[in-house]
Amino acid sequence: MSNILYAGAARRIINPPLGTKRPGIRLFAEPLQAVESDLSATAVVLSNQASKVVIVGIDICTIFLPVALEIRRRIGEAVGTPASHVLINFNHTHSGPALPDYLPDSPGQMRLQRAYQDNLIGWLVETCVEADQSLQPARIGAGWGEAHIGIYRRETGPDGRDVLGEDPGVPIDSAVGVLRIDDLEGRTIATCFSYGCHTVTMGPRSSLVSSDFPGPARDLVEDSLGGLAVFLQACGGNVNPVHGIGYEVDCRDTKNRTGMILGAEVVKVAADIRTNLQRGTERRPMGVIPNILFWPWEPVDGDTCTWLGAVDEIIQLEFGELPPLEEAEAIRDEWKRKLARARAGDARNWEISVAMRFTDWAEKLVEAVHRGNPPLDTLIQAIRINDIVLASASVEAFFQTGLDVKARSPFEHTQFLGFSNGLVAYLPRAEDYPEGGWSVHERYAVPDLLVQSYSMPVAFRPDTEQTVVERVSNLIRQLA
């Protein structure tokens, strides 16, 4: 294995055709009408000639697992590395396009989404190839900061039930993980930074294509440091922006301010990471003056790559108890009638969208009963670069899950990312479930219990989140 690290970075604009719907049920369900800020895909390739990893950050809300697996395979083939060494992380902007697997829709809408997905796959492969072709000797450093742009979003209402709101009394994980990748002279090639928070500052009334707050954060980092900046969504499954989901039609000011707060913290941390110079081991006098001593900066030498590799694993998540077939079929038939009434009457667009989603869910509920409650495939992954680890899972992970994984890791700098390599579901913890358990007949206000948003038949078993934590931790230990 070579002891030299090589790095390259590239970016591609990935805007969808206007008129494409957004991924939403009650909110964010209207088609995109104009472009507020470009969506982009940014790829970083790291190599030591014997091994190669690819990190891709894309401004997309959701790509479902089978498609993401195919994208990783094609990227790996194009740059010459196993699919296990490819990380694709979604910033989860709700101001981007839905893809075909999100929800069955009209023939015209499905054509738009399929054409866009085909283009997207090609763009991602091209971006990674371009980054691979720009490899140059590099060094990498890591650091941590804090940004207080998120707030815990599960609130207890007056009736004691959970609602989607704000609870400032719950301290969230405000950590900003920063990776600085420089050439040998200390000039920035790429800055990767992670934070866990839903990207919804633009709000459901906007109907504009937008990268949301990661966009202005990246702009600030690139203007300050040079190179390309990659936002990596961490564990924001139960975190919303502290400024709220944008209520106004024009939410650009809030979006920009939120992004600048995050970007400024990244710049502060990255500016303190020196990859080419280090403080000297001995103080020295300035010229001939013997009693005024200074610490000189000295060039960094030695290996630039001590470890580069990745592992991944498909794990199966088990659902709770399903209803009897007769009950499931009754639920399906009722939602089919509701959808027909909504389409035939004067229902609003979001009401039709809700009926479409619940009908799709009810079909899958009946299918799951027929198939004997099969588990759900989920991908977990861990990448090690020297003594830096990026771990990930294809779920909307909660901040508490991220803290748990980081606490168990033997590596001092461990970032845990949700929203990666496909997205299959929210991953609530056992303590997030309602007393008495999840009910197939309840319409929950908090999205993590609204399994219909992913057309899951029922909720996961309550111990599922800890299973994911343990399996991810095992992957990390393999790299140790």
Residue 394, C-beta contacts closer than 8 angstroms, at least 6 positions apart: 65, 68, 378, 379, 380, 419, 420, 421, 422, 423, 424
What phi and psi, each to the nearest 5 degrees, are found at residue 204? -75, -15
Tell me how far apart the terminal alpha carbons of the chain are, to the nearest angstrom: 17
* Structural contact between residues 147 and 214, judged by C-beta atoms closer than 8 angstroms: no
Residue 151: both structure tokens together: 């707030």
Cα 259 to the center of its chain, rounded Å? 16
Q: In 3D, which of 199, 20, 205 has the Cα closest to residue 119?
A: 20
**What Å distances lie between residue 38 and 13, 14, 400, CA to CA?**
7, 7, 32
Distances (CA, A) of 125 to 18, 88, 318, 356: 23, 11, 33, 33
Q: What angle do CA 418, 422, 427 make, to 5 degrees?
A: 45
Q: Please report the pLDDT score of residue 1 as a whole number.
A: 53
CB contact at 8 A, 262 and 195:
yes
Per residue in 370-417, pLDDT tens?
999 999 999 999 999 999 999 999 999 999 999 999 999 999 999 999
Distance of alpha carbon 130 from alpha carbon 136, whole angstroms: 13
**429-457 b/e (C-beta count within 10 Å ≥ 16 → b):** beebbeeeebebeeebbbbbbbbbbbbbb
d(CA 475, CA 393): 11
Instruction: Identify the CA nearest to 405 among candidates 309, 470, 480.
Output: 470
Q: Give me the pLDDT at residue 159, please.
A: 83
Task: Look at the pTM and tell me if it is higher than 0.75.
Answer: yes
Distances (CA, A) of 171 to 23, 152, 400, 408: 29, 7, 10, 20
**Paired tokens of 354:** 């809700």
Q: Report the alpha-carbon distance of residue 94 to residue 329 in Å, rounded.
A: 32
Q: How many residues does the chain have?
A: 480
Strand, coil or helix: 318: coil
From CA 333, how far away is CA 338, in angstroms rounded?
A: 9
Residues in the chain, pLDDT under 70 = 1
- Residue 305, C-beta contacts closer than 8 angstroms, at least 6 positions apart: 1, 2, 3, 4, 5, 48, 385, 386
94-143: pLDDT as tens digits = 999 999 989 888 899 999 999 999 999 999 999 999 999 999 999 999 99
**Is residue 396 within 8 Å of residue 419, measured between CB atoms?**
yes
pLDDT for 162 equals 87
Residue 95: closest CA among 150, 26, 152, 24: 24
